[in-house]
């Protein structure tokens, strides 16, 4: 009941909230659209469609709430990038934030030649404009990248999550090269740098220091972290080592995703016996050729935990 004693019919279903949000968006009432669609996302997460995400993020953009728009699409970008409307939305976010890796992701996913060329020109111009209007910030970011190992783990995480996405891709080879061989850069941060290099400088070879060795990589030739055949074999070996122990697997496998990410992109070079590595990792007290590696991985994970970062999520 409202103050007049009239019955207020609150929408209860995902369908009602979707219709109200879409109608508010079409009417230009973007604040109301956000309210309805945000309620939909929180109350009926399993019913949320890519279209709902696109409308909600579009409403945030209309309200100039760029961070909220970016947060909205973060877990749905693989779905949104499948159609032109979704790519257009992602490119708007990429150019206005800016988020240059997101822009590169959209460009790489665009198969139509005309759309691809238009998107490429848009991001190229956005980078050039940002480089010109934010010359000081860009220079500071490059300096931070070059000396990343001199920061605390928390500062390194902050750099990865706030500064790196706004670094244009031109003239980054030298500072990136320095960071990739710096042994004081945390392995999780280095993994993020290599992933960034896949879109920023995909064809440039780099030496990378991983665990106890230098490996030379060409970013475009790499799988994403933990998607290489060796990492997948390790995960399979973990499953084989814990037959019929689903509860334990649910807690163990995410940990191994993190630990294997610390070795990116050198997992195949470092882990040559996936079964033995799995046995040693599940029983760290067991004597193994991988004992030193396991100890190093666990120490790196503990370092993230002690620092209170989200890089192990």
The rounded distance, in Å, linking the Cα atoms of 248 and 252 is 6
Q: Does 202 reside within a domain?
A: yes
Joined tokens for residue 15: 């369908």
One domain, residues 118 and 142: no
Please count the residues of the chain.
313
Q: List the beta bridge partners of residue 214.
A: 209
Q: Distance (Å, rounded) from C-alpha 11 to C-alpha 17?
A: 6
Tell me what the mean pLDDT of segment 174-178 comes to: 98
Quick: pLDDT tens for 19-63. 999 999 999 999 999 999 999 999 999 999 999 999 999 999 999
Tell me, what DSSP letter sits at residue 203? T
pTM reported for the whole predicted model:
0.86
Per the listing, tokens 């691809």 go with 116
Instruction: From 146, 138, 33, 164, select the one nearest 41 (Cα to Cα).
Output: 33
Q: Which two tokens stand for residue 286?
A: 């067991």
Q: Which tokens belong to 72? A: 């909205």
The burial of 67, by beta-carbon neighbours within 10 Å (0-12 exposed, 13-18 middle, 19 or more buried), is given as exposed
Indicate if 169 and 210 belong to the same structural domain.
yes
Residue 297 has pLDDT above 80, yes or no: yes
| Per-residue model confidence (pLDDT) at position 5 | 47
Q: Based on C-alpha coordinates, what's the Rg of the chain?
A: 23
CATH of the domain at 52: 1.25.40.10
Q: What is the pLDDT of residues 207-216, one digit of tens each?
A: 999 999 999 9
Q: What is the pLDDT of residue 138?
A: 97
Q: How far apart are CA 267 and CA 246, in angstroms?
A: 26
- Residue at which a domain ends, from 169, 187, 221: 221
Whether 8 maps to a domain, the answer reads no
Residue 26, Cβ neighbours under 10 Å: how many?
A: 10
pLDDT grade for 310, boundaries at 50, 70 and 90: confident
**Whether the predicted pLDDT of 257 surpasses 60:** yes
pLDDT at position 265 is 97
Inside any domain, residue 4: no
Q: How many CB atoms lie within 10 A of CB 17?
A: 23
Q: Is residue 88 part of a domain?
A: yes
pLDDT at 313: 59
Q: Give pLDDT, residue 12.
A: 74
- Please check whether residues 88 and 104 belong to one and the same domain: yes
3-state SS class at 196: helix
Residue 264 lies in a domain: yes
Does any domain span residue 81?
yes
CA distance 25 to 31: 9
42: containing domain:
14-133
| pLDDT at 11 (0 to 100) | 57
pLDDT band at 15 (very low <50, low <70, confident <90, very high): very high
Question: 205, 221, 237 — which closes off a domain?
Answer: 221
Share the mean pLDDT of the chain.
93
Higher pLDDT, 135 or 246: 135
- Domain-ending residue, one of 100, 116, 133: 133
Look at residue 146 in the predicted model and tell me its pLDDT. Answer: 98
Which of the four pLDDT bands, split at 50, 70 and 90, describes residue 244?
confident
């Amino acid at each position: 009941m409202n103050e007049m004693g009239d019955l207020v019919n609150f929408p209860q279903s995902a369908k009602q909230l979707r219709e109200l949000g879409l109608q508010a968006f079409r009417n230009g009432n973007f604040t109301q659209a956000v309210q309805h669609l945000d309620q939909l996302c929180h109350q009926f997460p399993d019913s949320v469609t890519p279209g709902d995400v696109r409308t909600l993020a579009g409403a945030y953009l209309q309200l100039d709430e760029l961070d909220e728009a970016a947060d909205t699409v973060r877990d749905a970008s693989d779905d949104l990038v499948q159609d032109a409307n979704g790519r257009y939305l992602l490119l708007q976010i990429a150019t206005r934030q800016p988020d240059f890796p997101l822009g590169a992701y959209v460009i790489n996913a665009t198969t139509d030649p005309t759309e691809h060329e238009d998107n490429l020109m848009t991001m190229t111009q956005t980078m050039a404009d940002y480089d010109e209007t934010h010359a000081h910030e860009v220079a500071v970011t490059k300096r931070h990248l070059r000396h990343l190992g001199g920061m605390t783990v928390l500062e390194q995480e902050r750099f990865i999550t706030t500064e790196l996405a706004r670094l244009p891709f031109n003239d980054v080879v030298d500072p990136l090269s320095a960071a990739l061989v710096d042994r004081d850069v945390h392995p999780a941060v280095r993994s993020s740098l290599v992933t960034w290099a896949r879109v920023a400088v995909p064809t440039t070879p780099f030496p990378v220091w991983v665990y106890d060795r230098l490996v030379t990589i060409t970013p475009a030739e790499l799988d994403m972290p933990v998607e290489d055949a060796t990492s997948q074999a390790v995960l399979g070996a973990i499953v084989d080592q814990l037959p019929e122990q689903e509860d334990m697997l649910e807690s163990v496998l995410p940990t191994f995703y993190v630990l294997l990410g610390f070795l990116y992109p050198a997992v195949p070079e470092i882990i040559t016996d996936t079964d033995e590595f799995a046995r040693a990792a599940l029983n760290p007290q067991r004597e193994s050729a991988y004992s030193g590696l396991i100890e190093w991985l666990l120490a790196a994970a503990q370092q993230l935990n002690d620092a209170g970062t989200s890089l192990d999520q």
